[in-house]
Amino acid sequence: MVVRFFAVAAAVVLTTAAAAAAAAQSPSPTDSARVVLLGTGTPRPNPEASQAATAVVMGQRVFLVDAGAAVMRQLAAAGLPVNGVSALFLTHLHTDHTLGYPDLVLTSWVMGRRTPLEAYGPRGLRRMTDHLLAAWSEDIAIRTNGLEREAPGGYRVAVHEIRAGVVYDSGGVRVTAIPVQHGEWRDAFAFRFDTPDRSIVISGDTRPSAAIEQAARGVDVLVHEVYPETRLAPEQRPGGEHWPDYMRAFHTSDVELGRLAAAAQPRLLILSHIVRMGGTDAELLAGVRSGGFTGRVVIGRDLERY
């Protein structure tokens, strides 16, 4: 009887442990995906709008899209983990989307990360990563071997150079890379996140894109870059005569975004990475409306959650 009791008890413990392990790998019904705007600005230094960074948060997991300057500070300000995100997705390798990348890699290690940072991005990301780690090789050696005794190898990055299609699928989160046109960049992507309760598309930098329109049809949230069409004009600086051509080749105006959203019909359109050129919120909203979108629109601000 005693032997049988302990055998049954052991079976119950094992079954419970197995169930707990399975639960840890599966999304909880309470793990609703949320968008956190960490950086809604541009290369222009702006204390009120940090460079490009958007988090998709699901339960305890944080998925980061782009890592502009101050991304670690913004993660801390948002109350999100500073010891490493679940995965990083880079839309392209412009500086205002990557200046925070070495900070993310190295500071998250100093804050306790012990496993490789999973980083997904275009061709060139591996080379960039290798050079960054080489640039801080003395820091890494001293932090590892000196009195700080940081976790050996905790600074490592698992680089995934991606192409169009599903690039991540784990624990109820599927991420699809969507190729977009961003001027002369040979590789630039938008990303679509599909979770058990929400669908989210983040445009990255792009001119109007039929691929994004298709990917964003009926999604819960579309986060899209924008500039005010009425403000576009040559600038008084060397090369400034090409500014309108640059913006049309690399970016999306408020009117163009209104047309795209009218076709895609997202439940919520968030304007982010805003090249304002002096434009106001009212002007941006009017431009989106003139493009034909009548749904819910918000002008994104740093640290807002949706």
Measured CA to CA in angstroms, residue 245 lies from 93, 187, 251, 264, 272 at distances of 21, 20, 10, 26, 21
Question: What are 184's two structure tokens?
Answer: 């002369």
Q: Which of 31, 66, 96, 254 is catalytic?
A: 96
Count of helices and strands (H, E) across the chain:
10, 13
User: Cα(125)–Cα(91) distance, rounded to whole angstroms?
Assistant: 11
CATH number for the domain formed by residue range(s) 31-299: 3.60.15.10
Q: Angle formed by the axes of helices 125-135 and 101-110, to 10°?
A: 50
Q: Angle formed by the axes of helices 125-135 and 137-145, to 10°?
A: 60
Question: What are 183's two structure tokens?
Answer: 């001027």
- DSSP-derived secondary structure letter, 151: P
With 0-12 / 13-18 / 19 or more C-beta atoms within 10 angstroms meaning exposed / middle / buried, residue 12 is: exposed
User: Cα(257)–Cα(279) distance, rounded to whole angstroms?
Assistant: 16
With 0-12 / 13-18 / 19 or more C-beta atoms within 10 angstroms meaning exposed / middle / buried, residue 286 is: middle
**Is 187 noted as a catalytic residue in this protein?**
no
pLDDT in tens, the chain (306 residues): 433 333 333 333 333 333 333 333 444 545 799 999 999 999 999 999 999 999 999 999 999 999 999 999 999 999 999 999 999 999 999 999 999 999 999 999 999 999 999 999 999 999 999 999 999 999 999 999 999 999 999 999 999 999 999 999 999 999 999 999 999 999 999 999 999 999 999 999 999 999 999 999 999 999 999 999 999 999 999 999 999 999 999 999 999 999 999 999 999 999 999 999 999 999 999 999 999 999 999 999 999 999
The residue extents of the domains of the chain are 31-299
pTM given for the model: 0.89
